[in-house]
Amino acid sequence: MNVPSLTEDTLLDLTVNFIPLGILAFFDVLFWIFNPWGWDPWFVFWAHVLTIIPFVLLTILTFVSGRVIQRDERRVESTTERDDAADH
């Protein structure tokens, strides 16, 4: 699934995942820049685990859902075309 092949409707459907991805990335970068708890390995580890793991999982979910949405859109379009051809 490459981004140029996504339709506007699919991108709109996936926007609900892009916004949290941006928020997670923002906070991870913010933790690296300001480092509120210092460089204690325990806090650095947990601060990034709690932002990076959900980011990766949500990225995978977004990719899979984009593929499923595109597949279902193609299926609906082909069904509609067959129904239109049968009506004429």
Per-residue pLDDT reduced to its tens digit, 47-80: 888 889 999 999 999 989 988 988 888 888 888 7
Number of domains in the chain: 1
User: What integer best gives the mean pLDDT of the chain?
Assistant: 84
Say how far apart CA 47 and CA 75 lie, in whole Å.
Answer: 43
Instruction: Name the residue range of residue 10's domain.
Output: 3-87
> DSSP state, 5?
G
Secondary structure of residue 73 in the 3-state scheme? helix
17: pLDDT strictly greater than 60: yes
* pTM for the structure as a whole: 0.73
